[in-house]
Homo-oligomer: A and B are copies of this chain.
Amino acid sequence: MSGSESTMQDFALRVPRLIDHAAREHGRREIVSHWADGGETLTDWAGIARDARRLAQALERLGVKSGDRVGTLAMNHAHHLVAWYGTIGMGGVIHTINPRLFDDQLVYIANHAEDRVLFYDRQFQPLVDRLRDRWTTIEHYIPFDGGPQWDALLDAEDGDYAWVEGPERDPCMLCYTSGTTGNPKGVLYEHRSTVIHALAEIAPAIFNLSSRSVVLPVVPMFHAACWGLPFAGALAGAKFVFSATNDAAVLCGLMNRHRVTHSAGVPTVWLAMFGHIDATGDAPQYLEQATIGGSAAPRAMIERIMGMGVEVKHLWGMTETSPIGTAGSSPPDWAAMSLDEKLDRVSKQGQVPFGIELRVVGDDGVEQPRDGVSSGRLQVRGPWVVQRYFKADAPAVDADGWFDTGDVSVMHPDGTMQITDRAKDVIKSGGEWISSVELENAAIGCAGVAEAAAIGVAHPKWDERPLLLVVRKPGSAVTEMEVRTHLTGVVAKWWLPDAIVFVDDLPHTATGKLLKTALREQFKDFRLAAA
């Protein structure tokens, strides 16, 4: 049945409908920006929509065409939000670049994307100055702040503009993943995938957003589309509080002044917030939900946030999944659970929302049962999951449409998913898998240990055995025997590392993940005493 013969109305799932809805139905709902210089500005959804139309006109004046990429190097603020909706609204593709990447990655990404315009925050001026000669496609460099350029760009336009229409499978946004090997890969989101993802994620089981929500996304807008919040927030008509700095004192002040109900960020945000609370006694007063993703939140962190009367939700996902893959929410029997049971539940990565399919496959390619024990590679498919990387020749999925996440996980009988490791980091000992992440987390629980990394090293009998690298806390003299004794009570006996080596520091990627490829290279000739 074609559109014209249809009995229900045509309605293309296009991103500009989100900003139109927000401006029309929640036009006075505020958008707060706390800038890098400490200043604070206020606009609302109607203002964002008005500026986005003017920016769309300005981009057309600059020669940007439908489908062209417009890059940003910026933290969270209203101008950045305007850049998203203005670029997408004129048919362009907004490309958020992570300023924390290494220079070579930044050069590769902007050139590969063929960005024609770059909007950036003044705090990244040194980076722009350094790389400008190496970026080959950027024609216009426009600072968001610290000068009259942004205002002048918009003030030249009247805002009398109709969004570009088109198929709902058109691209609208580009985000690159930075792996630990190879060049970054671009995930090109489509209007349809973005709108369906936004519809799904305002649900009670995920972000639980409505027009009474006040959202402070600590997660940067360059990190996996800010978890979709700038789209979902428009759909729900939420108030946003954006901060261009992640200083805990600033965040806590914003949360209380603007009665923030929802935060979203990586676990380290909360470590800093705990430090602020301990030092000042000043804590978020109105927070209802803390969403944590990017990496797993430690159990003690979850317990402390829950103790503040805040619901903690774990998200799992990746740039390739827009990014929501799973979200933790209260099960039907929540009220009857003990604190330990609740922490067990919340510590896992959550349940599968409608749209997403997950499966865990063993080394033999066979799907594992959902028994809470059988682990394997986590695969995913769904309407907001990557099919093919930007400019890639081959699909990113197998013949049945499954995308391999590179994570190792276990599915529990209640439908909860638990990440146990990255596939390339798992230690294969005698045909069984040892989770490097769980070993590391167990080691960090030992007094005096600041950071730990577990890698597999060759073993003639068991194939691989764990080597644990430990960084001591400043002033600590924790010994191998103390670490080993601690681990004995926490992990299975056959998981105990064959060797523990103290190091001064550990290598990390630009986004703060342990760089285990470098560790494996460094310790590839390490000989285990028992071997």
Contacts and interface: CB of A to CB of B under 8 A. Distances in A.
Which of A1, A11, A167 has the most chain B CB atoms closer than 10 A to its own CB?
Answer: A11
A210 B199 contact: no
Nearest to A385: B9
A357 to B, nearest CB: 8
Interface bin, chain A: 35 or more
Nearest to A3: B169
A438 to B, nearest CB: 25
Contacts of A13: 196, 383
A62 to B, nearest CB: 24
A199 B354 CA distance: 9
A386 B332 contact: no
Interface in A379-437: 381-390, 397, 401, 403, 415
B199 A204 contact: no
Given A187-B7, A190-B6, A401-B9, A26 B415 contact: yes
Contacts of A205: 210-211, 236
Which of A167, A211, A235 has the most chain B CB atoms closer than 10 A to its own CB?
Answer: A211
Contacts of A202: 203-204
A208 interface: yes
Contacts of A390: 7
A334 B11 contact: no
A352 B193 contact: no
A332 B204 CA distance: 17
Interface string A18-49: 10010011100100000000000000000000
Nearest to A392: B7
Given A1-B169, A3-B169, A8 B190 contact: yes
A330 B212 contact: yes
Interface in A197-236: 199-200, 202-205, 208-212, 214, 235-236
At the interface, is chain A mostly helix, strand, loop or mixed?
loop
Contacts of A386: 7-9
A348 interface: no
A257 to B, nearest CB: 15
Which of A18, A329, A355 has the most chain B CB atoms closer than 10 A to its own CB?
Answer: A355
Nearest to A174: B7
A189 B8 contact: yes
Nearest to A402: B9
A188 interface: yes
B354 A29 contact: no
A239 interface: yes
A351 interface: yes
A309 interface: no
Given A239-B332, A351-B211, A387 B169 contact: no
A68 interface: no
Interface of A: 1-3, 5-11, 13, 17-18, 21, 24-26, 29, 167, 169-171, 187-190, 192-193, 196, 199-200, 202-205, 208-212, 214, 235-236, 239, 322, 329-332, 334, 351-352, 354-355, 357, 381-390, 397, 401, 403, 415
11 contacts: A3-B169, A6-B387, A6-B388, A7-B188, A7-B386, A8-B387, A25-B352, A204-B204, A204-B210, A210-B329, A211-B332
Given A7-B386, A199-B199, 14 more contacts: A1-B190, A2-B169, A7-B171, A7-B189, A8-B169, A8-B383, A8-B384, A9-B381, A9-B383, A202-B204, A205-B236, A211-B351, A212-B329, A239-B332
